Structure formats: structure tokens, C-alpha cells
Structure 1
């Protein structure tokens, strides 16, 4: 998987946020500080709606 961090990631190492990876039909999400602890995956359309909501309701 190709994990990406947010451009808003803070901290000296940039490791104080979540990372995402695009799968075929889902988006995988993990904690950048503890990547081995596990991942959450949700349907890609639901993730898109979630991000759009965050953009309009900070």
C-alpha cells in the first residue's frame, strides 16, 4: 500500500496525524504514530463525503 500523510501534518517528524491509502474500492486509514496497531477501511464514497463535510464544517 502507498500510505500518504496530510499536508497539514504537524510536529518535527510530521507524524502527528493519520495516513491514508487508496485501495480499489475503499480508503485505508491508520495512525501515523502507531502504524502497526491496525487500520480502518471505509468505502471510498463515504470517505469523500466525510472529507467534504470537514471542508465545509471545520
Structure 2
């Protein structure tokens, strides 16, 4: 039996239930990304790559 993936919406997505969201999940410790408007298109990412992306986004905040 496959466990459902628990997706977390980005805080940058505005907090609503719209389709313009980036979501993050982890399966067996491996991070996954997807866009809410294309939920079947899942991008596995390396933890180091995700950390670099988040660091860049935080550094780019106004």
C-alpha cells in the first residue's frame, strides 16, 4: 500500500487555495517539488540543490 504524499504549500504563494503555488514534500527523506497547477508533474531534487535554492530566494527577498 502506497502512502499519500503530504504536500506543503510555499509561504510565498499568498496563502489561498489558488493554482499559483509551489509545493514541497519529502518521500523517504528525498525532497520533491511541484506546481499546484500541474500536480502530476513532480520534480525530485537533491537536498543540497533545494538548500541552495532556498538560500538564494531568502537572499533575494526585498
Q: TM-score, normalised by structure 1?
A: 0.74
Moved over 4 A (4+): none
Backbone CA RMSD of aligned residues: 2.0
Give the deviation of 1:25 after TM superposition.
4.2
Residues 7-22 of structure 1: pairs in structure 2 closer than 5 A:
7-10=11-14, 12-22=16-26
Larger RCO, structures 1/2 (Cα 8 Å, 6+ apart): 1
User: Which 5+ residue runs of structure 1 have no aligned equivalent?
Assistant: none
Residue 49 of structure 2 is aligned to residue 43 of structure 1? no
Q: TM-score, normalised by structure 2?
A: 0.70
Q: Which has the higher strand share?
A: 2
User: Which 5+ residue runs of structure 2 have no aligned equivalent?
Assistant: none
